[in-house]
Chains A and B, each alone.
Chain A
Amino acid sequence: MALWGMVIDLDRCTGCQACVMACKAENNVPAVGADEAKRGRVISWMQVLTETDEHHQGKMRFIPRPCLQCDDPPCTKVCPVYATYRNPEGTVAQIYARCIGCRFCMAACPYNAKYFNWYSYQKEAPGQNPDVSVREKGVVEKCTFCHHRLQNVRERALAEKREFNPSDYVPACAEACPTKAIVFGDLNDPASEVAQLAHSPRAFKLHEELGTKPKVIYLTEGEGGG
């Protein structure tokens, strides 16, 4: 059984946010508008966090943060209605039709990876990605590792009567990154690039001590610095 995971090389990340824009376009993430953005309601499944180093003036680190797809997710534990759960392939799914909008999962996520639709920010319209639903007000949403792309790839393989090729499944952010900082694949396949990078001496997980077992693994900057 595949275990989908991601490695993000912080040494390669330039903070260009191509991943953010690709994600928003791919997943019909609404642009909430300037007023709402001022009130702190931007929805950004992939978000680039900036960390400044107190001890080294001028050093800044860019951390692209999708949903970390934890293997022991604090968010799924607290959902009262099975609206978010971890599927057998390791992806933490979000069921918009079930969500009651209690926002408990948002309060529980240590990475702030979950976002809420405070209004109905958009209606269904041409130009959106038809593979992804358009969310109404009152539900929580988050990065799904572009799960619809996995479904597409699987269906295509079925239609063409061939084996499904895991390297065909690439989320929008990994596809868009110009420096190839984001690597995606099957962590259970020892031959895959993602599995090998995950064991790199530079590899670390965000807030690993919390025990969430995230499947987005970061590679820290090398000797040359960020």
Chain B
Amino acid sequence: MENLPQVSQRLVRGLQWVWVGCAFLLVGGIIAWIIHLIIASWRLDDVIQASVGISIVAIPIFLVFMGVILYVFWGVALHGRKRED
């Protein structure tokens, strides 16, 4: 980022937060959706075992994605940048 003026640097940082925010929204949205389907299945007295069973596998997986994305963002963009050699 050395070749960019100060204002652009702030813009870039802002957009990077937006970028991670999008990933967060995507994954979070999918988890919220799965939970919504479980609730709908319970309300309509349908086969709730299917919803719960699948969410037990699916939700942890999506949480891991979120974790990886945040880890990389933190490690590369935030924490990692302070140690520019």
Contacts and interface: CB of A to CB of B under 8 A. Distances in A.
Q: Report the interface size class on chain A.
A: under 10
A82 B51 CA distance: 14
Contacts of B44: 82
Interface string A7-35: 00000000000000000000000000000
Contacts, number: 3
B46 to A, nearest CB: 7
User: SS class of chain B's interface: helix, strand, loop or mixed?
Assistant: loop
Contacts of A82: 44, 46
A86 to B, nearest CB: 11
A82 B44 CA distance: 9
B35 to A, nearest CB: 17
A82 B47 CA distance: 11
A85 B46 CA distance: 9
A154 to B, nearest CB: 22
B43 to A, nearest CB: 11
A79 to B, nearest CB: 10
Interface string A75-107: 000000010010000000000000000000000
Interface string B36-72: 0000000010100000000000000000000000000
A97 to B, nearest CB: 16
B24 to A, nearest CB: 27
A127 to B, nearest CB: 37
A194 to B, nearest CB: 27
B65 to A, nearest CB: 24
Interface string A163-203: 00000000000000000000000000000000000000000
Contacts of B46: 82, 85
Nearest to B41: A82
B21 to A, nearest CB: 30
A217 B4 CA distance: 80
Nearest to A77: B47
A184 B67 CA distance: 60
Contacts of A85: 46
Interface of B: 44, 46
Interface of A: 82, 85
3 contacts: A82-B44, A82-B46, A85-B46
